[in-house]
Amino acid sequence: MSKALKAERVRAQGLPAGFERPLLVSYQRLPGPGFMAKLMSMLLPYMILIFSLLGAMYPAIDLGAGEKERGTLETLLSAPVERQALVMGKFGVVLAASVVSALLATASLYVSIKAGALGKFAPEQVSFGPGEAIAAFAVVIPTACIFSSLLMVLSVFARSFKEAQSYASPLQMFIILPAFVSFIPGLELSPATALVPVMNVSLALKAIFTGELGMHVLDIALLLASSVVLAGVLLWFAARWFLREQVLFRS
């Protein structure tokens, strides 16, 4: 039906002009590549931290509570090896699994972005070259130490594999929430946030991927120092509990 005919029929019915169009449709351009690139700089830190946590979780549970359940821990403790060395060996295995998981996640994301798997949206504002990948990996290592030592503490304390899982599952929520802060606009790495575990690494990775690493060198140094101290304290607890048979073999 032509516009003139529609207008004539509307007038014939005594209706106001434009009555045949009850809804006014407006068009707005969707966010372009800049928006998607900014979103990627928020998403990458979250994904890397989650991969690091999941990489450490089940090796830690198996090397502590899993050995208790299988009855192989007693044989291991009877070996002429200091228990601190056993704890460090188990911690090294868990840390390696966490770091490899984070490394594979970082490498796969880097290859995907550079290969154009994300289309035209990713490269504009996301700074993700070899230097950024190395910096991100270096920042994640202290947090992987925290994840590994904390999971080792829970695994040594648990009486069975299932009990260790019940401890580790709520832990995921406590890790996911601070890791999610990279999505909060305006929240940046500072001396205060650099002391908050997990949150500090999430914000540091966000700064790395947006090309702001040079603005937060001192904050990242504070982040690394606080993470190493916290990981050392948690590892000390795991070693102390490994020396106490009432904890290892509690009924």
Query: 17 in a domain, yes or no?
Result: no
Cβ atoms of 178 and 187 closer than 8 Å: no
Closest alpha carbon to 170 in 182, 154, 149: 154
- Helix residue ranges per DSSP H, the chain: 3-12, 33-61, 67-70, 73-77, 83-114, 130-157, 161-179, 199-209, 217-242, 245-248
Place of tokens 């299932």: 162
Residue 143 CB contacts under 8 Å (≥ 6 apart), including other chains: 49, 52, 197, 198, 201, 227
* 9 inside domain: no
Domain that residue 95 falls in: 37-245
pLDDT at 57: 92
Type of residue found at 128: F
Handedness of CA 108, 114, 119, 120 (dihedral sign): positive
Residue 183 pLDDT: 83
CB atoms within 10 A of CB 198: 22
**In a domain? residue 3:** no
Give the type of residue at 222: L
Radius of gyration for the alpha carbons in the chain, expressed in angstroms and rounded: 27
Tokens of 178: 């601070």
Residue 64 resides in a domain: yes
Cβ-proximal residues to 230 (8 Å cutoff; 6+ apart), any chain: 146, 197
Q: What is residue 185's predicted lDDT score, i.e. its pLDDT?
A: 79
CA distance 160 to 42: 37
CA–CA separation, 86 and 89 (whole Å): 5
Residue 59, pLDDT score: 92
227, two tokens: 């993470």
Residue 140 is assigned to a structural domain of this protein: yes
Nearest residue to 146 (alpha-carbon basis) of 175, 120, 124, 173: 175
pLDDT at 65: 86
Domain contains 122:
yes
Q: What is the pLDDT of residue 1?
A: 56
Give the total number of structural domains in the chain: 1
Please say whether the dihedral angle defined by the alpha carbons of residues 134, 91, 241 and 154, taken in this order, is positive or negative.
Answer: positive
Burial of 139 (C-beta count, 10 Å sphere; 0-12/13-18/19+): buried
Average confidence (pLDDT) per 10 residues, the chain, 251 residues: 73 74 67 62 82 91 87 81 85 92 80 63 58 80 89 86 87 85 83 87 85 80 89 85 72 58
Q: Is residue 26 part of a domain?
A: no
Asked, for residue 192, whether it belongs to a domain, the answer is yes
